[in-house]
Each structure stands twice: as C-alpha cells, then as structure tokens.
C-alpha cells in the first residue's frame, strides 16, 4: 500500500485553478520528485498535503487515513514533516532551539510541569536535547548548535530546516526546493543526505528545479503544468516524454 | 560571566530586602507600586514579549481580578488572601472567553481590539454592571489581608508580601522560559507558519499565553485591592495598560531582568523626578524615542538560552 495518495485534488484561488484534479501515489520508502515549470502549482500541492490550504475537492490519504482539512500541527504529529521554499527559520533563536521546535510534538509537558520542573519533564527535556543533537549531527551542523540560526550560510539554513523536520520523527518528509540557493558541492552533499534519509526508512517527496539532483535522487517523478498532472514515471521515461519537453521548452512557433 | 551576573542579582536582591529599614513610608510605598508593576509587567511579558501578541488591554484582566476580590470580600467576607486563586481563575476564564474569537488577529489588529476590551471593561465598571461594581465610586471597605493571624497594614508589611510575590513570579516564569512551553511561545513569535509546520499547536499556545498572563494579572488585582482597600474604575484606565506595555518595551521585551528594570524606570523614576513634575512626560517621551532609535531591543534584552550540550554530548557520540 502506498504511504500517501492524492485523489483528484483540486484547489482554486478565485477564478484560478491552481491545482486541477491531481492524483498520484507515493510508495513507502521511495523518493518522489514533483517537477514542473514555475507557477505550475507544485508548492500548492505541498500546502494541500500539509494542511496549510484546504482542497476544494479531492482527498489526501496518509497511511490509510484521510487527512485533508486537518490542522497542520495535527498532520505533522501524524508523521509528515516539511521544509519551506523560502527559508522559514526562527531567526532570533539558536540552531539547537530551531531543531528543538521539531521535538515539540513528541513531548508532553505543559505549563505546570514546566513551572515545577517535575522529574518527567526533566527527563523529557534531556531526551529532546539528545535527539536534537543527533539530528544536527546527521545533517552536519553539530558544531554550529549554539549559533544564531541566521548566522548560518544559506545552504546550511536549508539543512537546518531539514534537521528541524527530522526532529518531528516523520515517516514522510516533504522538501520544497531543498537545493535552492546551494552551490554545486552543497547540492552533491544534499543528494548524499537524501540517500541517507532513505536508508533511515523515510519516504521523501520533493520539489526541485535542479534537474541533475532530480534525475539522480528520485525513484519516480510527477510532472505538473498549469495545475494539471501531465506525466508520471521513472526519470528516464520523463526525460524522453514529449509533453514534458514541450512544457519546459515550449513548442516552435508556426507548427 | 554567569557567576558575576548571579552575584549582581544577589546583591540587588539583598539591598531590596533590607531597603524598608532605611526608607521612609513614602518610598517604601513607591517600591510597593514598583513591585505590583513588576508582576503585571512579567505577566504581560508572557503575552507581548514571549509570544509577540500585542495586548494593550491588560488592565482589563487586572480589573477583573481586583473586582472579584473586592466583591467577594465585601459581600461574603472571605479573607482576601484566600481569594488569590479565585481572582486568578476569574481573570483567566475571562481572558479565554474574550481572546478565543480574536486570537487569530495579527499584530496591530489584535492591539486595537485589546484596547477596545480594556475600555469596555472600564466603562462597564463605571456603569455599575449587574449592580455589583459600585459605579464610578468603586468599592470600599475591603478588608486588610491576614497571614497566620497577623494583619498586614503598614507599607513595610505590604512590601514583603508584594516582593515575595514578585520573587515567586520570577522563579516560576524563569522556569517556564526554560521549557517546552516557553520555547513554543518564542517559536510562534518568530514565525507562526513555521511553528505550525513544526508541529506546534499555535492557536492553543496563543490562548495559553493570554490565559496565564491574565491569571497572574488577576492575582495582582487581588493584592492591589487588599493594599488600597478602595478600588474604582479609574485605577484600571487605558493609561495603566500603556504603562505595563511601555515598561516591557523599555526594559527588554521577553527578558525577566529587563521587565523588572522597566518597572523601576516606569513606576519609580517619575517619583524620583517629582520635582520636575511638568517635564516628566516630556522626558519620558524623549527616552522612549531615544530607545526606539538606539536600542530597539530594550535596555536588558533577553539572553540566549543555554543548554547542557556538553554533558549530553558524551551519550550521543
């Protein structure tokens, strides 16, 4: 059974159909790429999955449960983590605190146990700290733990977002242009990181414009244009697909 | 560095503790009102400084607490200190009921609505709602607090009651800051979308910040009623909310030492400069403008949290 399936998802903004009857399945343990020209509606699809938008019609089924219309934090606690296209870190807080944000949904202590520092609360804090440091180690930012998040380089800020999403202990990780703003070496490292995350048993759904990364990292691709799905398949197929080439390069005039 | 800070705070605390022995009644009373503003400031700081929700109607929660104490004490003669949790509860419930429908408003919009709430409460009190608030005259004859059979009546005695409450508040709020709850408030101040996307129930925490801030303001209301023995709507004017807000911005938004300093500056300095009464507001305004230009974070901005990274590190490597 697939971990995530979108069924006839449609979202309109006023008269604009941003996502139009899109369906696809993401198999457990796979890396799926969502590609398409700028403005095709890729990020809108992500926002529909994570509950930032509610679809006009259609279904999002995660792990056998219908999740459309749930609040984002509920969806996160069910096991879908995400990063943002425009980096959204907590700018006044440290690298470590940013990752601790991800641990939040796996913790329980509230205002009262925090005020009294109960033994259970202390234990939970230590466990969260350990896990956060582990995730920072995993993405390679362990040394920067105490720094302010905005002091990191652009590429490292993207990695920090990934660490924060990993700290929510997701089963499905959604990455919105993870290589955006990264140089060639950083992109290489990112591909390695994606492979390592797949080894950890994570399922990954990503949007990316870097074709080299998409072709190498993804097991399967879905292409959308003007909110509609125009192709689906393994990278080799997609590369040869005339509809896709047309969407990216356009048709010659006079044809 | 950290030890130096603890020593400084320790010396200040001891100096404050001993001050009633050296000061006359008037100055002790000034310190009492500084203490009350400090607690009010700390409670509002949870909402404004930690969570980033602009609330310019905090006097409303303060008023609900004070009137709860006054009404229950004068009609049912319940000892005023026993009413402390009751006042916190009524103010907290009031805050939840009021804040629930408006909590999704952002920045200045929320600010305007909270100003409205503050004014509605004040005017309702003047208009003698349900015939129990005593109208513009307020309520008098509130009993003095008693502790273990000892009646608190002199400013020096109130000094220790109030500053004990300040100490308790600082202790608990400091722990709160160093916890999951406190961090969650900071996350949603910094970026609400990212906080929700990281699995934090932002609506819940906004409401929780409001409720907890109001509970504390309500309890201050109880102590205020006990100290004054008379309360009237003019004690809970818009100006009070502005002062609480100002002391946070001036001292350091989100910083406990900053808020305490702010309370001294806002409630204490005007008394020191009473000789220049007509210039007070001018100086005050000038200081605020200078702050906004040269030190936008406040005089004592919040310090970064520290975590025992090294002690945990051995286990994770």
Distance, CA of B223 to CA of B163 (rounded, Å): 11
* Percentage of residues of chain B with pLDDT beyond 70: 97
**Residue-level pLDDT at A255:** 43
**pLDDT grade for B270, boundaries at 50, 70 and 90:** confident
CB contact under 8 A, B172 and A115: yes
What does DSSP say about strands A4-13 and A57-62: parallel, antiparallel, or unpaired? antiparallel
Name the residue with higher pLDDT: A114 or B313.
A114
SS3 sequence, A157-219?
HHHHHHHHHHHCCCCEEEEECCCCCCCHHHHHHHHHHHHHHHHCCCEEEEECCCHHHHHHHCC
Asked whether B70 and B218 are in contact (CB, 8 A), the reply is: no
**pLDDT grade for B315, boundaries at 50, 70 and 90:** low
**Quick one: how many helices (H) and strands (E) in chain B?**
14, 4
Who among A84, A88, A114 is closest to B179 (CB)? A114
Is the confidence at residue A98, as pLDDT, over 70?
A: yes
Task: Tell me the average pLDDT across A207-221.
Answer: 92
CB contact under 8 A, B309 and A133: yes
Who among B199, B305, B315 is closest to A104 (CB)? B199
Is the confidence at residue B317, as pLDDT, over 60?
A: no
CB contact under 8 A, A129 and B308: yes
pTM score, whole prediction: 0.91
B21 touches chain A (CB under 8 A): no
Distance, CA of B55 to CA of B61 (rounded, Å): 11
CB contact under 8 A, B197 and A76: yes
Who among B197, B199, B309 is closest to A146 (CB)? B309
Is the confidence at residue B261, as pLDDT, over 60?
A: yes
CB contact under 8 A, A101 and B187: yes
Name the residue with higher pLDDT: A76 or B314.
A76
Task: Tell me the average pLDDT across A76-104.
Answer: 95
**Residue-level pLDDT at B64:** 96
Domain boundary assignment for chain B = 32-238
Minimal CA separation from B201 to chain A, in Å: 6
Residue of chain B with shortest Cα separation from A78:
B199
User: Which candidate in B169, B174, B179, B198 is best for mutational testing of the A interface (most A CBs within 10 A)?
Assistant: B198
B176 touches chain A (CB under 8 A): yes
What would the pLDDT profile of A117-161 be if each residue is shown by its tens digit? 889 999 999 999 999 999 999 999 999 999 999 999 999 999 999
Which of A37, A236, A143, A91 is CA-nearest to residue B194? A91
Which of A240, A86, A72, A57 is CA-nearest to residue A157? A86
Distance, CA of B251 to CA of A157 (rounded, Å): 31
DSSP designation for B305: P
B202 touches chain A (CB under 8 A): yes
Minimal CA separation from B102 to chain A, in Å: 18
Residue of chain A with shortest Cα separation from B196:
A73
């Amino acid at each position: 059974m697939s971990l995530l399936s979108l069924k006839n998802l449609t979202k309109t903004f006023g008269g604009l159909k941003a996502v139009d009857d899109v369906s696809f399945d993401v198999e457990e343990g796979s890396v799926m790429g969502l590609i398409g020209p700028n403005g095709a509606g890729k990020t809108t699809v992500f926002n529909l999955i994570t509950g930032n938008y509610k679809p006009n019609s259609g279904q999002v089924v995660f792990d056998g449960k219908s999740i459309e219309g749930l609040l984002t934090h509920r969806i996160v606690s069910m096991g879908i983590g995400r990063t943002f296209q425009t980096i959204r870190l907590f700018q006044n807080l440290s690298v470590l605190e940013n990752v601790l944000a991800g641990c939040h949904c796996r913790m329980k202590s509230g205002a009262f146990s925090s005020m009294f520092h109960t033994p259970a609360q202390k234990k939970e804090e230590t466990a969260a700290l350990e896990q956060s440091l582990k995730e920072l180690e995993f993405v390679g930012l362990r040394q920067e733990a105490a720094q302010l998040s905005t002091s990191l380089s652009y590429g490292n800020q993207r990695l920090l977002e990934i660490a924060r999403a990993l700290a929510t202990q997701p089963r499905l990780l959604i990455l919105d242009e993870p290589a955006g703003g990264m140089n060639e070496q950083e992109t290489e490292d990112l591909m390695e990181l994606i492979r390592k995350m797949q080894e950890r048993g994570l399922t990954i759904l990503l949007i990316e414009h870097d074709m080299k990364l998409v072709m190498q990292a993804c097991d399967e691709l879905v292409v959308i244009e003007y909110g509609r799905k125009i192709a689906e398949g393994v990278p080799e197929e997609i590369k040869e697909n005339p509809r896709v080439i047309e969407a990216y390069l356009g048709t010659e005039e006079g044809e | 560095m950290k030890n130096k800070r603890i020593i400084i705070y320790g010396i200040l605390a001891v100096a404050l503790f001993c001050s009633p022995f050296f000061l006359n009644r008037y100055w002790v009373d000034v310190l009492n009102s500084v203490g009350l503003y400090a607690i009010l400031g700390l409670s509002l700081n949870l909402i404004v400084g930690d969570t980033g929700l602009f609330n310019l109607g905090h006097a409303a929660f303060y008023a609900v607490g004070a009137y709860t104490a006054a009404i229950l004490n004068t009609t049912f003669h319940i000892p005023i200190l026993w009413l402390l949790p009751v006042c916190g509860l009524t103010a907290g419930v009031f805050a939840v009921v009021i804040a629930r429908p408006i909590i999704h408003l952002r920045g200045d919009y929320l600010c305007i609505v909270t100003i409205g709430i503050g004014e509605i409460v004040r005017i309702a009190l003047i208009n003698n709602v349900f015939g129990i608030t005593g109208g513009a005259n307020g309520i008098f004859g509130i009993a003095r607090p008693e502790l273990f059979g000892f009646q608190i009546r002199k400013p020096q005695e109130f000094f220790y009651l109030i500053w004990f409450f300040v100490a308790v508040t600082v202790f608990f709020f400091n722990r709160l800051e160093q916890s999951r709850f406190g961090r969650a408030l900071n996350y949603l101040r910094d970026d609400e979308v990212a906080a929700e996307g990281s699995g934090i129930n932002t609506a819940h925490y906004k409401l929780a910040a409001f409720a907890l801030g109001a509970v504390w303001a309500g309890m201050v209301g109880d102590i205020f009623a006990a100290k004054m023995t008379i309360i009237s709507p003019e004690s809970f004017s818009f100006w009070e909310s502005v002062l609480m807000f100002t002391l946070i911005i001036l001292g350091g938004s989100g910083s406990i030492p900053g808020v305490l300093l702010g309370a001294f500056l806002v409630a204490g300095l005007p008394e020191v400069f009473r000789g220049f009464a007509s210039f007070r507001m001018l100086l005050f305004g000038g200081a605020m403008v200078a702050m906004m230009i040269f030190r936008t974070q406040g005089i004592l901005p919040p310090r970064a949290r520290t975590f025992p990274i090294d002690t945990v590190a051995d286990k994770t490597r």
